[in-house]
Amino acid sequence: MSADDFIVTPWHVEGDIDYDKLVKQFGTEKISEGILDKIKRITGEDHFMLRRGIFFSHRDMGRILDDYEKGTKFFLYTGRGPSGHTHIGHLVPWVFAKWLQEKFGVNMYFQLTDDEKYFSKPNLTLEDTAKFAYENALDFIALGFKPENTKIIINTKNIQTLYPIAAQVAKKINFSNTKAVFGFTNETNIGMIFYTSLQSAPCFIEDKPVLIPLGVDQDPHFRLTRDIAPKIGRQKPALIHNIMIPGLEGPGGKMSASDENGTVYTTDSPGVVKKKINKYAFSGGQPDIEQHRKIGGNPDIDVSFQYLRIFFEPDDKKLKAIHDDYKSGKMLTGELKAILIEKINSFLAIHQEKREKAKDQIEQFLFENR
């Protein structure tokens, strides 16, 4: 793979992603000023993840907003493949989904695909993925969702509800379609080959339009879903995509929950966060202080700065001050990292408390088969 190549699929992300190219490759649309204005008008707010292009692309967002203004509500759906503990990158689409839910007053479904991660990860048992599903659900609940309008779907537990929908989807997707989209081979296990129909199923769980906030790597599943939706008499799901969140070790590639050091988990202690950021967070600074003062740092490739931009510093003025000071060399890498460590640790202190409380709430969130 050459330096300007990149790969984005649900099971593999590699290289330095050119998002303009990706939009063309995938056939999505960039979020236009028109869409941004409409969201602002309806919600009365200018969300920093939209303003900063963390959510950068969509499919059919215009239709969702137009319908909403005419009185047709949508519902929200997103999910997580429970292959490990939750890391801070996972929270990005969930926090945004929470905001959408509040502003639009709509229902939310969260799918935990314990089967998918069992199929796709050779070393994980179904017990492992079920355990991680529980752990991930706690993080989701900790973000403040309410059981009245939010349900958590666990594939192996809710198969009774999902299966009749998945069957309708599966009948319309043939092997050559999914092979073309995912690159499956004769050696791919057939769980994987069927799996897209299960990720599609929640799109049709309510008789309303659906909007899915998601990492752009998940788009291929829903491209298939959108293709077949009219064939089963349903509307195409609408999507709003976020960029991939870099791992600590640097840009190019998403944070991987299986790489211990390249990842800040929501369960990490303040000491561990401090150690990981100081030791592993890829720096855009110069090799020594003298040069740094002279040349300055590069915030665009600096992972600590990117985490502030993507999640931890919603205030544009404060972010710009950090950006400019780092770039001019006035702020050193150690100082930038200290800011991020403080932000992450104060976020996690509250999150971990709510996560404990979620253990008593989880029952209320679990979807009941019907």
Q: Point out which residues bind ligand TRP (CB under 6 A).
A: 10, 78-81, 111, 113, 116, 199, 212, 214, 218
In angstroms, what CA-CA distances link 266 with 128, 245, 275, 357? 18, 15, 15, 15
E-strand spans in 203-288? 210-215, 238-242, 246-247, 250-254
- Cα separation, 266 vs 141, in Å, equals 13
3-state SS class at 214: strand
**Closest to ligand TRP by CB, 108 or 277:** 108
Q: What's the min distance (Å) between Cβ of 366 and ligand TRP?
A: 16
Least distance CB 117 / ligand TRP (angstroms)? 7
d(CA 155, CA 112): 6
Q: Are 270 and 281 a contacting pair, CB within 8 Å?
A: no
Report the nearest approach of ligand TRP to the CB of residue 241 (Å).
Answer: 10
And the tokens for 20? Answer: 């303009």
DSSP H helices, the chain, are: 19-26, 33-43, 48-51, 61-69, 91-104, 114-120, 126-142, 159-172, 175-182, 190-200, 219-228, 270-280, 289-295, 303-307, 316-328, 333-365
Query: How many whole angstroms separate alpha carbon 349 and alpha carbon 351?
Result: 6
User: Would the CA dihedral through 145, 147, 149, 154 be positive or negative?
Assistant: positive
Distance (Å, whole) CA 232 – CA 164 = 12
Nearer to ligand TRP, 257 or 310 (CB): 257
Nearer to ligand TRP, 158 or 218 (CB): 218
Q: Which residue has the tokens 């079920």?
A: 130
Q: Which is nearer to ligand TRP, 182 or 280 (CB)?
A: 182
CB of 120 to ligand TRP, least distance (A): 8
Minimum distance, C-beta of residue 260 to ligand TRP, in the bound complex (Å): 19
Nearer to ligand TRP, 242 or 304 (CB): 242
Which stretches within 143-185 are classed as H helix?
A: 159-172, 175-182
Nearer to ligand TRP among residue 104 and residue 326 (C-beta): 104
Q: Which is nearer to ligand TRP, 212 or 344 (CB)?
A: 212
Q: First and final CA of the chain: distance in angstroms?
A: 48
Residue pair 267/352 in contact by the 8 Å Cβ criterion: yes
Based on CB atoms, which residue is closest to ligand TRP, 153 or 277? 153
Least distance to ligand TRP from the beta carbon of 202, Å?
7
Query: Which is closer to ligand TRP, CB of 153 or CB of 341?
Result: 153
Closest separation between CB of residue 311 and ligand TRP, Å? 18
Measured from the CB atom, is 205 or 212 closer to ligand TRP?
212
Shortest Cβ 204–ligand TRP spacing (Å): 13
The least CB distance from residue 87 to ligand TRP, in Å, is: 12
d(CA 308, CA 344): 9
Q: What's the burial of 61, exposed, middle or buried (CB within 10 Å: 0-12/13-18/19+)? A: buried
CB 78, min distance to ligand TRP, A: 4
Work out the angle between the directed axes of helices 126-142 and 333-365 (0-180°, nearest 10).
100
